[in-house]
Amino acid sequence: MSVLILLLLSCTVKPPPAGTDTAEDCTPTAWYADADGDGFGAGAEVWACTAPAGHAAVDDDCDDADPAVHPGAEEVCNGVDDDCDGVVDPPEMLPPITCYRDIDEDGWGIEDSTFESCACPEGYATQTGDCNDDDPTIHPGATETWYDGVDQDCAGEDDFDADGDGWRVDEDCDDNDPAVHPGAEEICGNGIDDDCDGLPGACGIDAEWDVTEARLEILSMNAAARASPLGSVADVDGDGQPELALGWWTPSDQGCGPGETFFEVHVTSLAASGTEAAGDRSLATLVAPVDCRAWSASAWASGTHDLNGDGSHDTLVLVSNQSPNDTRVPSRVYLVDGTLGGEIDLSTVDKVEQPAAWGTFGNLGMAVANTDLDGGAVIVVASSWSGPMGSTVVFIGGDHFLDSSGVEDAPALTFTEGWAMSGQSVADIDGDGVADLVVLHSSDGSDSFVGTYLGPLVTDIVMGDADGEIRTGGDPAFSLYNPIVCPVSSGDRMIVAQTLWDDSPHPGDSGEVLSLYGWDWTSTSQDLSDAVFQILNDDAITPMVSSCTGDLDANGEPELILTASDDIGEVDTSIIKFADMPDPGTWYVDELVRGQVLAPTDRAWSSAYDGSPRLIADIDFTGDGADDLVFGLAIQPAWYEPEETGSTRTLMFPGSPAGL
């Protein structure tokens, strides 16, 4: 009986699972280990009336180490089965990325082997463009080693365009600057050859200016006097730049009483701007004696030489008497020794003056005062009328000032009777380092020719001693004027002269025709047919060259500076035009002009006065590396308008890189 009872009890009572609650009123529940605490467990079930620590009532967590992964979680495109539904990144998720085969594993793949996925596996990259997938050092963004034959950065410029401007290194003059290449815009005054044409940034003359745009304007100091640039002198203020000698004088129509005539030279710096009277800018003043003479606008000054050999610069000042039949006060050349400063009385300095034997119309003209004509001494070229259509050119050295010997014993060029000098230029025309003399000979206005006399000039010579000539060819209608020596890019010299045809040989023209001819210098006789080029006039300007040795735009080539007559029309009067030396052939002025300076039309302005050009274009007064343009401007003729202060003035336009 007792055995039966024990068997029955063993069949009807089941013990709770191990580790569960044993209270008589408990119903055990299955629990699952939840290691990541996201409310979803995994692994074997554990029965208990209450949840054991670290367990959850729901299982099926497919990654119990990541709380973001569990049933019901938001599925994202990340290569993980976030919601544990057995599907990784289903197609309805975010747009997949393209994976590119990346054999060299440099982070850049190739287009030829791709697939789409939410994540790229190892051996694939999300970026394409690798131009060599076998070399991890070659890919977009890699450091380029230029000109080694390898396109490291896959830029497709075949390794010969470092700045990426589209020009190969063999065409690009600066392959490190994308703004510099053939075809780039040339920038004014930056000193860079932007367009790779072999020249630096040219500027300053390829435009049009009004005279009011001058950087510096120096006015005459009263209504009765005139002012005009005379030339350059040595540095006075210590800034390392030459100064300008500015003449202030009484013209011949202002009377000749005591104290009514004067001539002063005001030495002034051009490293300034604005408008000032001549006297307000004086660093030094040279005052000529007050006497009765017709003061001339043809005065000149020069001060870049040492005539007496004392180690300091000397200054030469020419004051010319142009009164017919008046020999009371002869024309003179004064020599001021040493550094200029304060007020200097020219009557106290050494001088040479015209001899009485030169005739009643004594005009001493200084053509140059700082050019070596004799191989050892600085020479002044002076000329005089010695009778009807007669002339003499003398070569005056420093000893003629120091011993007061005058000019009578100086070497001279003597003209044939009936001939005179009406223009001259001094330059080293044959390239031997010694200056030569180019003279225009004219005979009673009916014939003219240019003669070249090669230095050193240390003895007397005559017209027939010319080493080279340019003649009119015997045509009486053809005359030469104003010869000037111009350098050309080949290093040679060219003689340019103004010509006048009384009866034009050109079809369609009539009357007087002004033009310019240019001849390569040779030691032979040439005529019109030998000219290299001809420049014809147009309606705005007569082609007269005032300078051809200055480089205003700092491009390494001098320019032709053409000055206009005082013609005035309905448009602004062209006073000065800039042009390059022309190629062989026939040209009109406007075909060559690069830029110009204009004057207002309210009165007749002129850049010349009393027939004497007042223009300097071959000196760097401002120290910027380019020559500056300095010229006199006057109401022409002055008596057409009420007299006023500033009716004559000196204007300065700085060249490049400052710009005109």
Q: What is the pLDDT of residues 580-621, one digit of tens each?
A: 889 999 988 888 888 888 876 655 555 544 434 478 999 999
Weakest mean pLDDT among 118-127, 131-140, 271-280, 433-442: 271-280
216-222 mean pLDDT: 75
Q: Which residue has the higher pLDDT, 570 or 383?
A: 383
Instruction: Report whether pLDDT(629) > 80.
Output: yes
pLDDT of 332 reads 78
Q: Which residue has the higher pLDDT, 643 or 35?
A: 35
Band of the pLDDT at 125, cuts 50, 70, 90?
very high
Spatial separation of the C-alpha atoms in residues 319 and 249, rounded to whole Å:
10
Band of the pLDDT at 468, cuts 50, 70, 90?
very high
Band of the pLDDT at 466, cuts 50, 70, 90?
very high
pLDDT tens digits for range 364-395: 565 565 566 666 666 666 666 555 446 778 88
Per the prediction, the chain carries an average pLDDT of 76
Instruction: Report whether pLDDT(571) > 60.
Output: no
Spatial separation of the C-alpha atoms in residues 333 and 317, rounded to whole Å:
6
**Distant-in-sequence contacts of 472-476, Cβ < 8 A, 24+ apart:** 472/447, 472/448, 472/527, 472/528, 473/527, 473/528, 473/529, 475/528, 476/446, 476/447
**Distant-in-sequence contacts of 496-500, Cβ < 8 A, 24+ apart:** 496/545, 496/548, 496/560, 497/440, 497/450, 497/470, 498/542, 498/543, 498/544, 498/545
Is residue 156 within 8 Å of residue 164, measured between CB atoms?
Answer: no
Domain ranges of the chain: 1-86
pLDDT of 611 reads 39
Instruction: Report whether pLDDT(249) > 70.
Output: yes
pLDDT of 469 reads 94
Weakest mean pLDDT among 82-86, 199-203, 302-306, 438-442: 199-203
Where does 548-641 show beta strands of DSSP type E?
Answer: 559-563, 573-580, 585-588, 593-599, 605-606, 608-609, 612-613, 615-619, 628-635
Instruction: Report whether pLDDT(641) > 50.
Output: no
Where does 118-225 show beta strands of DSSP type E?
Answer: 124-125, 208-210, 216-219
Is residue 553 within 8 Å of residue 570, measured between CB atoms?
Answer: no
Radius of gyration (C-alpha) of the chain in whole angstroms: 47
- pLDDT exceeding 90 applies to what percent of the chain? 10
* Cβ-Cβ contacts under 8 Å for 19 (sequence gap 6 or more): 46, 47, 48
pLDDT of 2 reads 43
pLDDT tens digits for range 134-162: 899 999 988 888 888 888 888 876 678 88
Question: How does strand 243-249 pair with strand 573-580?
Answer: unpaired
pLDDT of 615 reads 85
pLDDT of 409 reads 77
Weakest mean pLDDT among 211-220, 311-320, 448-457, 637-646: 637-646
Instruction: Report whether pLDDT(638) > 60.
Output: no
Is residue 392 within 8 Å of residue 381, measured between CB atoms?
Answer: no
pLDDT tens digits for range 498-510: 776 554 444 334 4
Nearest Cα to Cα of residue 560 among 573, 576, 547, 542: 547
Q: Tokens 């060249």 label which residue?
A: 655
pLDDT tens digits for range 541-561: 566 788 899 998 888 889 999
* Structural tokens at position 195: 């367009």
Instruction: Report whether pLDDT(127) > 80.
Output: yes
Nearest Cα to Cα of residue 415 among 368, 383, 374, 459: 383
pLDDT of 556 reads 83
pLDDT of 557 reads 86
Diameter of the chain measured on Cα atoms: 183
pLDDT of 130 reads 92
